[in-house]
Amino acid sequence: MSTVFSEEQRDCLQELINVAMGLASDKLARFLNTFVHLQVPAIELVNSAQIPAQFEARYSNTEAALVSQGFLGNDGLRGEAIVLYQLDNAHRIAALLGYDTDSASELEMLTDISSILTTTFLNGLADQIDNSLSYSAPRVLSSRQNNVSEALQETAFHWELALKVDISYQLVDHSFNCDMLLLIPGEAVLNIQKILERILEEY
Amino acid sequence: MALPVLICDDSLLARKQVRKSLPESFDADILTAGNGVEALAILRSQEIGLVFLDLTMPELDGIGVLEAIKQDGLDCFVIVISADIQPEMQKRVTELGALAFVHKPVNPEKLVVILKQYGLI
Amino acid sequence: MSEDWLTGPVLEQLNSGVLVVDEQLQLVYLNSFLQRHSSVQLSDVKGKSLFQVFTDVPEAWLRRKFASVLELQSPSFSSWEQRQYIIKLPHLRPVTSSSQYMAQNCTMLPLKDPAGRRYVCLLIEDATDAFVYQQHLQTTLQKLELSNRIDGLTQALNRRYWEEQLKLEVQRAQRYQQPLSLLLFDLDKFKQLNDQYGHLGGDCVLIELTARVRVLLRDTDWFGRYGGEEFGIVLTNTALAGALEVAERVCLAVNSTAVTFHDQSIATSVSIGVAQLDAVGDRAHEVLIGQADIALYNAKRDGRNRVVVFSAGETEFLLKAN
């Protein structure tokens, strides 16, 4: 990570992400009418090629969902957010969101959950840097039938850098863990660095 | 006389943001700490009038610092500055003796209102 | 802001639906696209509940979606692949498409007016073309799957698919303890026939033979072309006596009437080996094929145009012969 981002830039990004998580958790807590224990999301910048191997172990023995959603903002900020989570986890949060499994298809439930997680979080990030984002419709890359690491391999292939954000939502009586990957193409990484530099200059 | 102030946050950016949010009229000697353990070491070794305290930090988090301040009977005001902005959390820190709760990212105007409210400026 | 004049006309001419409701889900705006497609005038419905105007939308579902957009101030999505449409609308391919309603990709966006009041904007994109392509694709895949199972010449099942079915039926018979029998048969002296009448003549006989056999079978039987002139029939829920009966009928059906090819009559016959499943284990289907094959070999050795049932003991004979 240090090879691409300076220590100051990394610190800046981590703080922006912490605050974004706080904003997202607050919204989720109000929406779900519960308390969300906030944990500092661990961030890591990784080469996209390493991603499939990193997640294979965690998701290989369970039924996992992998949902992608593109985002696009001003100042050349763009990328693809990928949310990975385990399906049994998803059913708990789906119950909180008021889904009964009869009326909504599983695919719809999966895209709704990850879209809520992604957009609340990224909106919080965008607000802080005076940006605003638009999103593509979420798309399920793989759910129970497919192999998670294969799906990741196909996706990650096109992106140079990935910002890995480990997110854990601990609700009062449910825990929900997911991984969020922000896959960012090369020139957008430079644009993010410019944004970070601008913030650092302000202080 | 300048007020001895401690800014405690694990993020350098956040510490800078707090410092920059303070009004010019606020006469303070500012110290900084990067986590709760460092903060307590400073609080126990010297007189600090006001602490700007982050909640989510490594080593010892803000809640731990508040508990230690209460337990040791340390004489200082604490303003919590947190990314965790849920009402539950606000209630918790207020119960632990924090003077005020400020949302991240810090809004300078709101901070001034709070400082005025408690006669710190 | 000098481009303000653009917004109205573009919104009105947009080939997508735009609908705006307030926090009470009362209609605030519908663009022309939606007004035309749903035969509704904005002036008539403004201020009315969305659910009063569009009575067949999935209300509970949509309320939940809108609640999350308003509360979280973040967008929500719906794809035609999961829900074909939200509002029933006719589409613009009434002739060339088989679907009745417009397939829709929908986006629900949070909006705020200058006074800070909250609204939800529902964007409806026509995805009927994608829906139609998807249906074509599925039909094609089904055809492809069928052609993957069928022997092109005789329209019997091909060997790979037939063997798969044999394996499954053997497992099923073992699980439910039901009888299962196998017929393997060969067209007699096929090489001579080809030499005499040409390959077209040979093909014609194979086609005719298959047609004659098929009508003798039940829907639950699996009839496949095993090799060049070799065929197999899996008879489900059938013991040896029943299988023998079917085999005799097959033999007769082929031999009783000659095949006509280019005004020539070609007399043909088949030799049939019959075996009933008695082996257990994973390889039972292979054993069964081996047993029917031995019986078939004996039918040929005994003079062709006949049915021979496999009986234990013949294996020993074969082993000695080898």
Confidence tier at C1 by pLDDT (50, 70, 90): low
Contact C180, C173 (CB under 8 A): yes
For residue B50, the model assigns a pLDDT of 94
Q: Do A137 and C73 touch (CB under 8 A)?
A: no
Decide if pLDDT at A63 tops 80: no
Cα–Cα distance measured from residue C269 to residue B3, given in angstroms and rounded to the nearest whole number:
112
Q: Are strands B3-8 and B50-53 parallel, antiparallel or unpaired?
A: parallel
Question: Would you list the domain boundaries of chain C?
Answer: 4-135, 149-321
pLDDT digits (tens, 9 = 90+) for C222-239: 999 998 899 999 999 999
The arithmetic mean of pLDDT across residues A100-120, rounded, is 79
Q: Do A25 and B84 touch (CB under 8 A)?
A: yes
Cα–Cα distance measured from residue C199 to residue B78, given in angstroms and rounded to the nearest whole number:
98
Which residues partner with A161 through β-bridges? A47, A184
Cα–Cα distance measured from residue B71 to residue B60, given in angstroms and rounded to the nearest whole number:
15
Residue A27 DSSP SS3: helix
Cα–Cα distance measured from residue C193 to residue C205, given in angstroms and rounded to the nearest whole number:
9
Contact B20, B7 (CB under 8 A): no
For residue A106, the model assigns a pLDDT of 75
Fold of C4-135: Beta-Lactamase (3.30.450)
Cα–Cα distance measured from residue B54 to residue B35, given in angstroms and rounded to the nearest whole number:
9
The arithmetic mean of pLDDT across residues B24-47, rounded, is 92
Chains touching B, CB cut-off 8 Å, 3+ pairs:
A
Cα–Cα distance measured from residue B44 to residue A190, given in angstroms and rounded to the nearest whole number:
44
Confidence tier at A1 by pLDDT (50, 70, 90): very low
For residue A146, the model assigns a pLDDT of 58
* Nearest Cα to Cα of residue C277 among C267, C266, C290: C290
The CA radius of gyration of chain C, in Å to the nearest whole number, is 34
Cis previous bond, B105, omega within 30:
yes
Q: How far is CA C126 from CA A126, B76, C320, in A?
A: 30, 63, 75
Place of tokens 């990935």: A162
Going through chain C in order, the beta strands assigned E by DSSP cover 16-22, 27-30, 76-78, 104-112, 118-126, 180-187, 222-225, 230-236, 259-261, 264-266, 270-276, 307-309
pLDDT digits (tens, 9 = 90+) for C23-46: 999 999 999 999 999 999 999 999
The number of C-alpha atoms within 13 Å of A34 and in the hemisphere containing its C-beta is 16
For residue C321, the model assigns a pLDDT of 44
Q: Does A130 touch chain B (CB under 8 A)?
A: no
Find chain C residues with C-beta within 8 A of A30's C-beta.
Answer: 71
Residue B73, C-beta contacts closer than 8 angstroms, at least 6 positions apart: none
Least confident span in A40-44, A187-191, C316-320: C316-320
For residue C308, the model assigns a pLDDT of 95
Chains touching A, CB cut-off 8 Å, 3+ pairs:
B, C
pLDDT > 90: what percent of chain B? Answer: 69
Please give the structure tokens belonging to residue B52. 């700007």
For residue A89, the model assigns a pLDDT of 72
Which residues partner with C19 through β-bridges? C30, C122
Q: How far is A22 from chain B (nearest CA, A)?
A: 5
Decide if pLDDT at C319 tops 50: no
Q: Do C74 and A112 touch (CB under 8 A)?
A: no
Q: In this structure, what are the phi and psi dihedrals at residue C105, rounded to the nearest 5 degrees?
A: -100, 125
Decide if pLDDT at A17 tops 80: yes
pLDDT > 90: what percent of chain C? Answer: 74
For residue A155, the model assigns a pLDDT of 67
Which residues partner with A37 through β-bridges? A170
The arithmetic mean of pLDDT across residues A191-203, rounded, is 88
Q: Do B83 and A200 touch (CB under 8 A)?
A: no
* Nearest Cα to Cα of residue C235 among C304, C183, C287, C293: C183
Find chain C residues with C-beta within 8 A of A67's C-beta.
Answer: none
Of B17, B83, B89, the CB nearest to A21: B83
Burial of B88 (0-12, 13-18, 19+ CB in 10 A): middle
* Nearest Cα to Cα of residue C102 among C123, C82, C122, C124: C124
Domains of chain A: 7-202 (3.40.1550.10)
- Best of B12, B101, B107 to substitute, by most chain A Cβ atoms within 10 angstroms, is B12
Q: Are C4-135 and C149-321 in the same CATH fold?
A: no
Burial of A144 (0-12, 13-18, 19+ CB in 10 A): exposed
Decide if pLDDT at C245 tops 70: yes
Least confident span in A134-148, A157-171, C66-80: A157-171
For residue A2, the model assigns a pLDDT of 39
Of A103, A107, A116, the CB nearest to C61: A103
Closest residue, chain A, to C106 (C-alpha): A137
Please give the structure tokens belonging to residue B57. 């930090």
Q: How far is A70 from chain C (nearest CA, A)?
A: 13
pLDDT > 70: what percent of chain B? Answer: 100
For residue A156, the model assigns a pLDDT of 62
Burial of B54 (0-12, 13-18, 19+ CB in 10 A): buried
Decide if pLDDT at A15 tops 80: yes
- Side chain identity, residue C171: Q
Closest residue, chain A, to C125 (C-alpha): A137
Q: Which CATH architecture has domain C149-321?
A: 2-Layer Sandwich (3.30)
Q: In this structure, what are the phi and psi dihedrals at residue B90, rounded to the nearest 5 degrees?
A: -60, -45
Least confident span in A24-33, B14-23, C198-207, C258-267: A24-33
Residue C34 DSSP SS3: helix
Least confident span in A11-20, A157-166, C185-194: A157-166
Please give the structure tokens belonging to residue A194. 């410019």
Confidence tier at A108 by pLDDT (50, 70, 90): confident
Q: Are strands C307-309 and C270-276 parallel, antiparallel or unpaired?
A: parallel
Q: Do A203 and B88 touch (CB under 8 A)?
A: no
Decide if pLDDT at C322 tops 60: no
Confidence tier at A177 by pLDDT (50, 70, 90): confident
- Say what the ipTM of the complex is: 0.84
Decide if pLDDT at B41 tops 80: yes
Q: Does A200 touch chain B (CB under 8 A)?
A: yes
Question: Would you list the domain boundaries of chain B?
Answer: 3-117
Contact C285, C304 (CB under 8 A): no
Supply the DSSP string of A77-130, one letter for each residue. Answer: -EEEEEEEEEHHHHHHHHHHTT--TTTS-HHHHHHHHHHHHHHHHHHHHHHHTT
CATH of segment(s) B3-117: 3.40.50.2300
State yes or no: chains B and A have 3 or more CB pairs below 8 A.
yes
For residue C204, the model assigns a pLDDT of 94
> For residue A15, how many other CB atoms are within 10 A of its CB?
25
Cα–Cα distance measured from residue B54 to residue C43, given in angstroms and rounded to the nearest whole number:
54
pLDDT digits (tens, 9 = 90+) for C132-184: 888 889 889 888 888 889 998 999 999 999 999 999 999 999 999 999 999 99
